[in-house]
Amino acid sequence: MLFLHETHRVAGERADEFEASWRGRLDQIAKGDDARLLWFFHVAHGTGLSYVVVTIIALRDGASFERHLQRLETGDLHDWYRELESIRHDASSKVLAPVSWSVLQEIELGSLPTDGFEKPLALYMEDTVLPRTGRLDDYLQAASTLYARDTIGKRMAEGTSLLDLRACFRTIAGAHAGREVILWQRVERPELLQPLLTREVPTERRGPGTWMNDALEFRDQWESRLLRTVAWSPLD
């Protein structure tokens, strides 16, 4: 399964129109068995560029991706896609694939809602990582053990974790393809964001044997974004 990740820089005065356009096309995007919208996010104001939207569409396989592109370029989604271009400044896209140990691997596309049913909002932290040159495999191995199992997994079991690591993706098409990794994490305890943002990481969490320390061997560059779902997003 593949995931089409798009970042849209939306015209601020037309942000509501942009969201309504996506909501109104849920059924049409889901036409057939190839593609379903999973998430529609706003990048939370105050945490990055203004009026940025992130969408993620699940695609059954490579052939489904090709058919989805054809629908956008010459098919039934063409007019809608051109409408989107008039509401946003620009957009960037990349195709993601889950790594072997990612919790999220496959999604039954037919089970995803397309009726716009509303639910409580959720917050995600998206960490986009560029491992050091030649250290991608080492980074992924460390992320699967030292981070996913020994850090997040342990804290989730204790009920003390800010984040729940829902998926780990590699970028296979788009900027930094073959090198970029995305840690896809749901914020489970939003109240823990304040100490994260207002204090330095405690010494005991960045010393030898910790993820913050030991992973520096494999990476020291990443970008975090806080993404907030909308009420009608198919997944929360």
Instruction: Identify the band that residue 202 occupies on the pLDDT scale cut at 50, 70 and 90.
Output: confident
CA angle 10, 87, 12 (to 5 degrees): 40
Q: Round the average pLDDT of the chain to a whole number and report it.
A: 96
pLDDT at 101 over 90: yes
What is the Cα–Cα distance from 19 to 52, expressed in whole angstroms?
A: 11
- Confidence at residue 203, expressed as pLDDT on a 0 to 100 scale: 86
If DSSP codes are grouped into helix, strand and coil, which group holds residue 44?
A: coil
Alpha-carbon Rg for the chain in angstroms? 18
What is the Cα–Cα distance from 65 to 71, expressed in whole angstroms?
A: 10
| DSSP summary character for residue 72 | H
> Which domains, from first to last, does the chain contain?
2-121 (3.30.70.100), 124-225 (3.30.70.100)
Instruction: Give the mean model confidence (pLDDT) for residues 77-88.
Output: 96
- Residues 173-191: tens digit of each pLDDT: 999 999 999 999 999 999 9
- Residues 3-54: tens digit of each pLDDT: 999 999 999 999 999 999 999 999 999 998 999 999 999 999 999 899 999 9
> Of all helices (H) and strands (E), which one includes residue 92?
strand 88-98
Q: Are strands 88-98 and 123-129 parallel, antiparallel or unpaired?
A: unpaired
Q: What is the pTM of this model?
A: 0.95
